[in-house]
Structure 1
Amino acid sequence: MSKIMIKARTATRSTPSAVPAVPPAPRWAELAARATVLTTVPSGLWRIAFGFGVPVGFTGATAARYAEHQPGWGTVYVVVLSALAEALAFLTVGLVRPWGRVAPRWIPLIGGRAVRPLAAIVPAALGSAILTTLGIAALTGGWSRNMAEADSPHGIAGLVMTLAYLPLVAWGPLLGVVTVDYARRTLRRR
């Protein structure tokens, strides 16, 4: 290919003019996206502390089972799980930032290309539905059943664990409202 064709192709791929103009996210959507990222932090910190062998209140056979692997592969597991949850929550920020409409250049294969709205909306909406369902299930009895087990943390340890995991209930609804705003802003331009 000639240099002119390569330059034209690159310019088309990387210029913001190749992407339809989208109004900026409202302030409330940006705050909701940031809050989404924060919903996973307390449980991640609790899980990582648990993974490194900090006594978090488990007793009996449950404590013995976990003690075999922490520190060890159990530590790696909880660190990776916490990092994955945080990374997935961070993707919500893309729904209110420019990199949610044009993939950052450093991403292999798709860098600099426009993000098709449905490629972001469909997984975000599915994620929101799943997370909201899990949050409702936890609030309507799942959590209390787990905490009623004899080996589960009780007293202050149980309260700390509950407070660490409670923000996760907001993850699904927050992702949902940010997704609806993203859809409203990006799909109406088509």
Structure 2
Amino acid sequence: MNSISPLMKRGTEKSLKNWPSWIGYVAAAWSLLYGAIHLYWLFQGEGYPFNNDSLGYFSAMITYLPAKVGGIVFVILCFCGFGLGISIQKSLEIIFLRRVFLIFAWVFASFLLLFIPDISLIAVMAYAFLFKFAFNWLMFNQIICIIGALLWILTAVVYYRRTHIACGYCGRAEEGKPFLLLRWARQITIIAAIAPLPYALTRFAWALNIPLGVDAEFLKDFNTINPMAQLTEWVFGTICVAGGILTLGLIMKWGEIFPRWFPFIGSKRVPILLAVIPASIVAIAITAAGVVFTFSFFAVTFHLLPADGVLLGSISGTVGPMLIWVPWGVLLGLAALAYYYRRRGQCVHCGRK
């Protein structure tokens, strides 16, 4: 048994390192399985996850579609994804078909990232700092969809590299130019670090009983209904400020090497994924929630959805600061990507730098 374990470990590591060769099959398998689940729901199966009315205006975009329509959309997208995911494992000679696949992959991934999640993911991350945890099937389904989106993004990236004679692992070509994102990395990261400050300012004001953007009566009622409201606002505002500072680490020296005063790991290099993975997760959650907030803001403001007077009077102060969440999330994701490309070093597969 001891002689087999090292061999299994090396085999697993080798498989992970060869991810461009199998990522498309995994995306296709995910599509088949998730499409089959939606087919089950389409035929009155239990557990359909997009009928959540508890969040009201902050529900996912998919909830505005009737269950049958949403099920049909998913079944078509997933089964088309399965067929395309299998077929593109061989390079398509027709350029038009290549473009069709890439467009489908990116549209499908965007649909899964932006129209399926609601505000639950970012709320759970924030309330975790208050030691409040809530996890259910609806959130688990959102995570499944986000995983599917990432699989399709990676599949599209690998396919694009393969059809453009570039390394499937790093994307470098024989006469490749410097990645454009690296030229703007500093500016993008600074803007991403500043972006959460309007939201933080609002929360700090509410914590101090200053009705910034809302009526004084609304703030009073809000604090009465929720005794922990002021503490919550302090925590949420502080999280945003701390997040902005950590974002700056993507372009600062201490984001690459731990400060000397860090116990045990001081002066050691920061693992690339230790910065990239958390930033990417937060970027996805912020962007998805930002889509929901933006839709609800304009839907209520322009009377596209019914709303009472209280909601109409407070929408600019409560949801207005979140209108910047979509660009904030996108910029944070780009900053994390730029950080990765800047620090990744020489490719062990193609040898290019």
The verdict on a shared fold, with TM-score over 0.5 as the criterion, is: yes
Q: 1 or 2 for the larger relative contact order (CA 8 Å, sep ≥6)?
A: 1
State whether structure 2 residue 340 is matched by structure 1 residue 186.
no
Q: Choose 169-178 or 26-35, whichever is displaced more.
A: 26-35
**In 1, are the aligned partners of 2:283 and 2:330 still within 8 Å (CA)?**
yes
**In 2, are the aligned partners of 1:33 and 1:178 still within 8 Å (CA)?**
yes
How much has 1:63 moved relative to structure 2?
Answer: 4.7
Q: How many percent identity over aligned positions?
A: 24
Classify 1:81/1:166 alpha carbon distance in 2 versus 1 (closer, same or farther; 3 Å). Answer: same
State whether structure 2 residue 248 is matched by structure 1 residue 93.
yes
How much has 1:142 moved relative to structure 2?
Answer: 3.2
Alignment of 1:14-163 (within 5 A): 26=182, 28-55=184-211, 56-58=213-215, 63=219, 65-68=221-224, 73-139=228-294, 141-144=295-298, 148-152=307-311, 154=313, 158-163=315-320
**In 2, are the aligned partners of 1:59 and 1:151 still within 8 Å (CA)?**
no
Correspondence for 1:10: none
Distance 2:283 2:231 in 1: 27
The residue type equivalent to 1:78 in the other structure is: E
* Larger Cα-atom Rg: 2
Distance 2:279 2:319 in 1: 26
Classify 1:27/1:153 alpha carbon distance in 2 versus 1 (closer, same or farther; 3 Å). Answer: farther
For the residue of structure 2 that corresponds to 1:57, the secondary structure is coil
The residue type equivalent to 2:202 in the other structure is: W
Q: Choose 161-170 or 115-124, whichever is displaced more.
A: 161-170
Classify 1:177/1:40 alpha carbon distance in 2 versus 1 (closer, same or farther; 3 Å). Answer: same
Classify 1:105/1:146 alpha carbon distance in 2 versus 1 (closer, same or farther; 3 Å). Answer: farther
Classify 1:98/1:149 alpha carbon distance in 2 versus 1 (closer, same or farther; 3 Å). Answer: farther
The residue type equivalent to 2:251 in the other structure is: V
**In 2, are the aligned partners of 1:69 and 1:75 still within 8 Å (CA)?**
no
**TM-score (norm. length: structure 2):** 0.40
Unaligned stretches of 5+ residues in structure 1: 1-24
CA RMSD, Structure 1 to Structure 2 (Å): 2.9
Q: What is the total number of aligned residue pairs between the two structures?
A: 161
**In 2, are the aligned partners of 1:128 and 1:173 still within 8 Å (CA)?**
yes
Task: Provide Cα deviations, 1:68-123, integer angstroms capped at 9, x if missing partner.
Answer: 379x7432321121011211122111111111110112223322111111111111
**In 2, are the aligned partners of 1:59 and 1:153 still within 8 Å (CA)?**
no
Task: Provide Cα deviations, 1:101-154, integer angstroms capped at 9, x if missing partner.
Answer: 101122233221111111111111122112111112222x23346773432252
Classify 1:97/1:38 alpha carbon distance in 2 versus 1 (closer, same or farther; 3 Å). Answer: same
Unaligned stretches of 5+ residues in structure 2: 1-180, 302-306, 348-353
